[in-house]
């Protein structure tokens, strides 16, 4: 059982994928692999919103999961939305298989600031962990420093840490244990 | 987003000429307009008595009207930040929210904006600070001789375009009755009971003929009635199901989360992280308005 990080070709070139993988292994305890995410953005573009529809992309990712997928997070460079929100950093199936994270609003450039690759990665790792957390059944955490805290804007993202709080971590580990036990049977 | 907007400066980013002593080891900036020029020896001939000057000045120094070591520089500072920190123009221009549209996310900017105005936004919905809020989304404000009642921003959003409004008639003191307003929308009829009994001394006729006023300006032109509550304003302040201030904010936040979860579950069980509730939602989604109304008004 594998946790896949699926990236578009453009992002694969720009991101430090190894570092991202390493930062995830410790918390999730399953092998992490990267994968190509061959999606054509045009089909998810909404002309009115001038953004890309997150939930449709999520479905597309679900259609592309290999046999041995435990979880799969798609990482895309386009600005995502769902109809009820002005934008989303990411979306996940609660207690499900797939999640999606957008790098668009994690980039300093989006706010008119000079690129900061390190900061981009910190933010991205937080968001990947957060969405993966949802796929393991975790809900939003009231602890503002916990990586499972809800972020409404980039300041919120920067405010939270890279880590799960103790409560969330315990929950996550019990979920992981359950999965491991079930698959051993 | 076009680039012009993207590089718009924060309105609180201010520029100031500051002076400093080039001879002094610490580069301490002083805003020019805060120094009294006659009192400060750097600005007149008495600079020659300055110990720092005497220590650093070359021996053959022609006399000047101000001190040779006096330096000036253009600096930027945040007018809101509690500590005035002056930074050279060039450095702030490089990497700061202050000189891009990211200033809108800046803590100081946001705090100021919120403190400055009578309204604030909770999960994208406008609240007026001075208003009291009933759980059925009526607001109450003090008026000249009683209270004014209307529908809050969240309430009008849930109802969608309001087609017809039936207001209570101007009443009389001796006929205390439970008073309410009836609103007709495309998605059904909503009846809102007023939280207190009293004498209706004024109704907003403009709203009875044009319900969309409520949608457009819920706290202003969209008001409903003015009344004198029988048991005075105390009855509102002491009512546990009428919220004010922080309590009102927490309550509205809960309502917004309820809305969010309702719509999320309509679409499928996913959780999303991101911005505020999008106002174009009702139209774009063809969301089941009747369900929304049921959920929040019954
Ligand atoms: S008088 Fe000249 S040397 Fe003395 S503090 Fe002022 S600027 Fe510096
Ligand atoms: S610190 Fe914030 S409020 Fe102050 S100038 Fe910068 S962006 Fe504006
Ligand atoms: Zn937590
Ligand atoms: Zn989340």
pLDDT digit string (tens) for B69-108? 777 776 677 776 665 565 655 555 555 667 677 777 777 7
Q: What is the pLDDT, as a whole number, of residue B28? A: 59
Tell whether A84 lies on the interface with B, counting CB pairs under 8 A.
Answer: yes
Q: What is the pLDDT of residues A166-177, one digit of tens each?
A: 999 999 999 999
With contacts defined as CB-CB under 8 Å, which chain B residues touch A80? 274
The pTM of this model reads 0.56
From the list B271, B276, B284, the residue facing A152 with the nearest CB is B276
* Pocket flag, ligand 1, residue B53 (CB < 6 Å): yes
* Pocket flag, ligand 2, residue B81 (CB < 6 Å): yes
- Ligand 1, atom 1, lies closest to the CA of B42
Domain residues of chain A, as ranges? 2-180
Tell whether A153 lies on the interface with B, counting CB pairs under 8 A.
Answer: yes
* Pocket flag, ligand 1, residue B112 (CB < 6 Å): no
Is A110:A78 a contact under the CB 8 Å cutoff? no
* Residue position matching structure tokens 């002005």: A86
> Boundaries of CATH 2.40.50.100 in chain B?
122-298
CB contact under 8 A, B6 and A93: no
**Does residue B178 surpass a pLDDT of 70?**
no
CATH 3.40.390.10 fits A2-180, yes or no: yes
Q: 3-class DSSP state for residue B243?
A: strand
Q: Which of A2-6, A46-50, B265-269, B274-278 has the lowest mean pLDDT?
A: B265-269
CA pair distance B57, B61, nearest whole angstrom: 7
Q: What is the pLDDT, as a whole number, of residue B149? A: 94
Q: What is the pLDDT, as a whole number, of residue A131? A: 95
Q: What is the DSSP string of chain A?
A: -EEEEEE-HHHHHHS-HHHHHHHHHHHH-S-EEEEE----GGGGEETTTTEEEHHHHHHHHHHT--TTEEEEEEEESSPEE-TTBS-EEEEEETTSSEEEEE-GGGSGGGGT----HHHHHHHHHHHHHHHHHHHTT----S-TTSTTS--SSHHHHHHS-SS--HHHHHHHHHHHHHHHHHHH-
CA pair distance A96, A132, nearest whole angstrom: 9
Write the class of the CATH domain B122-298. mainly beta
Half-sphere exposure of B194 (CA within 13 A, CB side): 27
Rounded mean pLDDT of A39-59? 89
Higher pLDDT, B182 or B45: B182
Most B CBs within 10 Å: which of A85, A93, A109, A114, as the mutation test of the B interface?
Answer: A85
Q: What is the pLDDT, as a whole number, of residue A136? A: 92
Q: What is the pLDDT of residues B233-269, one digit of tens each?
A: 888 888 888 999 989 999 998 898 888 777 665 545 5
Closest-CA distance, A127 to chain B, in angstroms, reads 9
Q: What is the pLDDT, as a whole number, of residue B35? A: 47
pLDDT class for B283, splitting at 50, 70, 90? low
CA pair distance A157, A170, nearest whole angstrom: 22
**Does residue A15 surpass a pLDDT of 80?**
yes
């Amino acid at each position: 059982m594998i946790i896949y990080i699926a990236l578009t070709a453009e992002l694969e070139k720009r991101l430090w994928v190894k570092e991202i993988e390493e930062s995830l292994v410790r918390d999730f305890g399953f092998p992490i692999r990267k994968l190509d995410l061959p999606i054509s953005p045009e089909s998810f573009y909404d002309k009115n919103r001038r953004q890309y529809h997150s939930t449709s992309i999520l479905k597309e990712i679900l259609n592309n999961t290999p046999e041995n997928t435990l979880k799969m997070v798609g990482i895309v460079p386009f600005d995502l939305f769902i109809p009820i929100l002005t934008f989303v950093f990411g979306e996940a199936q609660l207690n499900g298989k797939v999640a999606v994270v957008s790098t668009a609003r994690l980039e300093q450039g989006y706010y008119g600031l000079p690129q900061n690759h390190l900061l981009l990665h910190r933010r991205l790792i937080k968001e990947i962990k957060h969405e993966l957390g949802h796929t393991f059944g975790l809900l939003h955490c009231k602890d503002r420093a916990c990586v499972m805290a809800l972020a409404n804007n980039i300041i919120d993202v920067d405010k939270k840490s890279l880590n799960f709080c103790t409560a969330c971590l315990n929950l996550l580990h019990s979920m992981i244990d359950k999965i491991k036990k079930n698959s051993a049977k | 987003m076009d680039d012009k907007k993207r590089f718009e400066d924060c309105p609180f980013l201010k520029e100031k000429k500051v002076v400093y002593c080039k001879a002094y080891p610490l580069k301490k900036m002083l805003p020019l307009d805060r120094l009294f020029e006659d009192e400060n020896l750097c600005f007149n001939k008495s600079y020659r008595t300055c110990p720092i000057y005497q220590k650093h000045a070359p021996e053959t120094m022609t006399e000047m009207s101000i001190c040779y070591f006096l330096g000036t520089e253009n600096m930027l500072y945040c007018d809101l930040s509690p500590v005035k920190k002056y930074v050279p123009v060039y450095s702030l221009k490089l990497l700061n929210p202050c000189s891009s549209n990211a200033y809108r996310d800046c803590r100081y900017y946001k705090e100021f904006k919120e403190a400055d105005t009578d309204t604030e936004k909770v999960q994208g919905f406008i609240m007026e600070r001075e208003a009291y809020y009933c759980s059925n989304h009526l607001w109450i404000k003090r008026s000249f001789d009683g209270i004014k009642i209307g529908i809050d921003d969240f309430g009008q959003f849930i109802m969608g375009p309001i087609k017809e409004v039936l207001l209570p008639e101007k009443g009389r003191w001796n006929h205390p009755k439970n008073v309410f307003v009836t609103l007709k929308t495309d998605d059904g009829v909503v009846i809102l009971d007023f939280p207190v009994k009293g004498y209706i001394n004024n109704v907003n006729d403009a709203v009875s003929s044009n319900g969309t006023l409520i949608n457009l300006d819920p706290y202003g032109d969209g008001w409903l009635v003015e009344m004198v509550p029988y048991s005075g304003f105390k009855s509102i302040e002491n009512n546990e199901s009428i919220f004010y201030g922080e309590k009102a904010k927490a309550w509205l936040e809960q309502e917004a989360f309820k809305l969010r979860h309702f719509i999320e579950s309509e679409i499928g069980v996913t959780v999303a992280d991101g911005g505020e509730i999008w106002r174009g939602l009702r139209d774009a989604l063809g969301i089941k308005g009747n369900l929304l109304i049921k959920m929040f008004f019954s």
